[in-house]
Chain A
Amino acid sequence: DSGVTQTPKHLITATGQRVTLRCSPRSGDLSVYWYQQSLDQGLQFLIQYYNGEERAKGNILERFSAQQFPDLHSELNLSSLELGDSALYFCASSVASGGKTDTQYFGPGTRLTVL
């Protein structure tokens, strides 16, 4: 158990819908990262938040957005869903403070299926 929690574990929805994925980082970790794992794209970095602020953006679609709340949990919002958005979405967290890169620990993932 990494200490990172993600809900829900599984999500099945229809095209055009909107969903919210939730992540709680390990105690003491200030940074949250979101990754997408799909068969054709592999593991792709989406976005990073550090202590409530957006720090880095990767291959995140405009239909996707995220935020980190004062209690440091994060939500990833996916809207106008398409079949191609079906994937495993991971959240990871790290301390990432004091200017030092450190290890990211991953949550169990949310499996999103768009029908």
Chain B
Amino acid sequence: AQTVTQSQPEMSVQEAETVTLSCTYDTSENNYYLFWYKQPPSRQMILVIRQEAYKQQNATENRFSVNFQKAAKSFSLKISDSQLGDTAMYFCAFTLYTGANSKLTFGKGITLSVRP
């Protein structure tokens, strides 16, 4: 079974600064996808970024980037130039590359607060 661990329950960052959210996972499989989802106070689940395990290059989406370390099974999210709208709960998630069966396994999430 796959597991996803987010050990930091809460983090706080000053507006305009950079913050890194940690995530580790465990799997014996070689082909999989990793995601970060954001859940703001509205409770909507919003995709932030996605990483395919077979790609060595780290994914980037505007101010969001990941540090994917496959051997260490680590997948951290870096948020640059933090904005007040980044205040949310962030979930790391894992899915196997299995075709049509692709449930997401989530970590417990981390609450990020951006201070003005």
Q: Which A positions have Cβ atoms within 8 angstroms of B?
A: 2, 31, 33, 35, 42-43, 45, 48, 50, 55-56, 58, 88, 90, 92, 94, 96-97, 99-106, 108-109, 111
The residue that A56 contacts in the complex, of B42, B45, B101, with Cβ under 8 A, is B101
The secondary-structure label for the interface of chain A is strand
Chain B residue nearest to A42 in the complex (CB): B108
Q: Say how far A51's CB is from chain B's closest CB, in angstroms.
A: 8
Stretch of B61-69, B78-86, B91-99 contacting A (4+ beta carbons < 8 Å): B91-99
Using A101-B97, A105-B47, A109-B44 as known contacts, say yes or no to A45 and B91 having CB atoms under 8 A apart.
Answer: no
- How many angstroms from the CA of A77 to the CA of B54 in the assembled complex? 38
B2-30 with Cβ < 8 A to chain A: none
Interchain CB contact under 8 A, B104 and A45: yes
Number of interface residues of B (CB under 8 A): 25
- Interface flag for B100 (CB, 8 Å): yes
- How many angstroms from the CA of A48 to the CA of B98 in the assembled complex? 13
Q: Which B positions have Cβ atoms within 8 angstroms of A?
A: 33, 35, 37, 42-47, 50, 91, 95-106, 108-109
The residue that B100 contacts in the complex, of A42, A96, A104, with Cβ under 8 A, is A96
Interchain CB contact under 8 A, A103 and B99: no
Interchain CB contact under 8 A, A101 and B47: no
Interchain CB contact under 8 A, B101 and A55: yes
The residue that B109 contacts in the complex, of A42, A45, A97, with Cβ under 8 A, is A42
Q: Say how far B48's CB is from chain A's closest CB, in angstroms.
A: 11
17 contacts between A and B (CB under 8 A): A42-B106, A43-B91, A43-B109, A48-B102, A48-B103, A88-B43, A92-B45, A92-B104, A96-B99, A99-B99, A101-B97, A103-B33, A103-B50, A104-B95, A104-B102, A105-B47, A109-B45
